[in-house]
Amino acid sequence: MARRRYQKGQLWLDERTWYGRWREDVLVGGVRKRIRRQEAIGSFKDYPTKRLAQRALDDRIAHVNKVSYRPMPTAKFADFALNWEQKVLSQYGDSTAINYRTHIWKHLVPFFGEYPMKDLNPEMVQQFVSGSAVGAKTTRNICITLQSMWTTAKAWGYVAHNLMEGVVLPDVKRVQRFFLSQREIQLILAKAQEPYRTWYGLAAETGLRAGELCGLTVDDIDLERGMLQVRQSAWRGKLGDPKTDESIRVVELSRQACGHLSKFLESWHPNQCRLLFATRSGTPWDQNLLLKRKYRPLHRAIARCHAVMASILSGMRTQL
> Hey, how many other C-beta atoms are within 10 angstroms of the C-beta on 315?
10
Cβ proximity of 160 and 195 under 8 Å: no
Nearest to 188 by CA among 200, 178, 199, 205: 200
Cβ proximity of 159 and 153 under 8 Å: yes
Cβ proximity of 220 and 229 under 8 Å: yes
Q: What whole-number distance in Å separates Cα of residue 57 and Cα of residue 40?
A: 9
| CA 200 to chain CA centroid, nearest Å | 27
Average pLDDT of span 135-147: 95
Q: What whole-number distance in Å separates Cα of residue 255 and Cα of residue 240?
A: 30
Q: What whole-number distance in Å separates Cα of residue 86 and Cα of residue 70?
A: 25
Q: Is the link from the previous residue into 122 a cis peptide, with omega within 30 of 0?
A: no
Dihedral over Cα of 251, 252, 258, 262: its sign: positive
Q: What whole-number distance in Å separates Cα of residue 205 and Cα of residue 203?
A: 6
Give the model's pLDDT for residue 4.
64
* Proportion of the chain above pLDDT 90, given as a percent: 60
Cα distances (Å, whole numbers) of residue 124 to 90, 128, 131, 133:
28, 6, 11, 16
* Proportion of the chain above pLDDT 70, given as a percent: 92
Average pLDDT of span 223-243: 90
Average pLDDT of span 161-173: 90
Give the model's pLDDT for residue 19.
93
Which residues, other chains included, contact 304 with Cβ-Cβ below 8 Å and sequence gap of 6+?
none
What's the pLDDT tens digit per position in 82-117?
999 999 998 887 878 889 999 999 999 999 999 989
Domains of the chain: 10-73 (no CATH), 77-155 (1.10.150), 195-301 (1.10.443.10)
